[in-house]
Structure 1
Amino acid sequence: MKILKLFALISLFALALTSCETYEDQKVEYSPLFPLCGQWVVSIHDAATGNLIPDGEGYTLYTYNTASNADNIMWVKLSNKNNPFGVLGKVNCSVPNKEFSITKGINTYFTTDNELTITEGKVVLNGFDTPSGGKSDFISFKMKATTNSTVTYLIKGFRRTAWPEDMP
């Protein structure tokens, strides 16, 4: 019985040593637009006054690559679960400068009166202090969408963190 216990102990020890394989760190593949692309929590302000527009908080902004996977153009989609703002358009971008813009682009969210202009678009890495006390990337841009009004809007916010305190 003693030999059997000793054999079992040695077998477990040998199994523990041989089962601990180590692997190389996996490479993370990013979109060619990173860090411009992502999901953002934003608010919408009147660019002339800086005032938050009515129901201007809690919007989700998506920035993502096109089907061509190019590094100089991306989609911008702005919506809100309670009050769709209705912006979906392609913008020109510069990943090294972390900037994006479009003049007289097309807001494909609408079929008529669908001109879209985005200026001063930028992303600042770790440029925002989140409500949860962490750091996140900051995004801001000015936008004029003729379907909504002739007002120029200032959209600004931070990259979504998924911490409950940071969610709108």
Structure 2
Amino acid sequence: MNKLFLACALLGISLAGCKKENVDPGGTGTEAVSNEWWAMLTDASGDDVFHLGHFAIATYNTASARDSIWVDDIKHGWGMKGKVGVDLQALTFGSPTGGSKNAYFNPVAPTAFPERVTITAGKVLPRAGRSRTGNVTDSIYMEVEFSDDPGTKYLLSGHARTAFAEDEY
């Protein structure tokens, strides 16, 4: 009986000593430029390159935290995922000289995705976009050049994903 009493007492003391804290984990260092986007890839004449209309892309933090982001078309467009430098004050981003290594490139099947992608003039424009139904969102713009089509600059632009069903493409 004493062992049962002792066990219950220890359990009671242990539970009484526990205090649940709601800790706010915060956001990422690149939260201002990180998002899911609906974008179109167009050529210099403004024509939709893949005739897809809007497709999903994403921008998100890297392990470097505040100095770079991933720009990822999630293999919906050309097949690019490049790490680019970011200026969080200006909300701009771009590839280093020589472009970024494409994380989707596979040297075993080199024709599937380009080896490098160069992103220039990348910018997030707060509240400058409109969703499919007209909701105000952020806008994204960048010029893109792929190593398998050197010399040709494409425009990748669009607006932030709202996650409202009526705004999905």
TM-score bracket for this pair, using the shorter chain length: 0.7 to 0.9
Specify whether residues 77 and 52 from structure 1 end up closer, same or farther in structure 2 by C-alpha distance, changes over 3 A only. same
2:86 to 93, 97, 104: 93
Aligned residues: 139
**Which whole-Å deviations, capped at 9, do the CAs of 1:77-96 have from their partners, x for residues lacking one?**
1135xx55210110001011
Aligned 8 A contact 2:60 2:70 in 1: yes
What secondary structure does 1:62 align onto?
strand
Question: 1:73 — aligned with what?
Answer: 68
- The structure 1 segments of at least 4 consecutive aligned residues displaced by more than 6 Å after TM superposition are none
1:54 to partner: Cα distance = 3.0
Q: CA RMSD in A?
A: 2.1
Superposition map of 1:1-168 within 5 A:
29-46=26-43, 48-68=44-64, 70-79=65-74, 84-102=77-95, 103-104=97-98, 105-110=100-105, 111=107, 112=110, 114-147=115-148, 149-150=149-150, 151-168=152-169
What secondary structure does 1:79 align onto?
coil
**Which whole-Å deviations, capped at 9, do the CAs of 1:91-110 have from their partners, x for residues lacking one?**
00101100000032211211
Query: Which sits farther off after the overlay, 104-113 or 116-125?
Result: 104-113
Q: What code does the residue aligned with 1:64 have? A: Y
Unaligned ranges ≥5, structure 2:
1-22
TM (norm. structure 1) is 0.74
Aligned 8 A contact 2:50 2:77 in 1: no
1:35 to partner: Cα distance = 1.3
Distance, in Å, in 2 between the alignment partners of 1:123 and 1:137 is 7
Distance, in Å, in 1 between the alignment partners of 2:87 and 2:52 is 28
Q: What code does the residue aligned with 2:47 have? A: N
Q: What code does the residue aligned with 2:92 have? A: E
Q: Pick the structure with greater CA Rg.
A: 1
Query: Which sits farther off after the overlay, 153-162 or 59-68?
Result: 59-68
The structure where strand makes up a greater share of residues is 1
Unaligned ranges ≥5, structure 1:
1-25
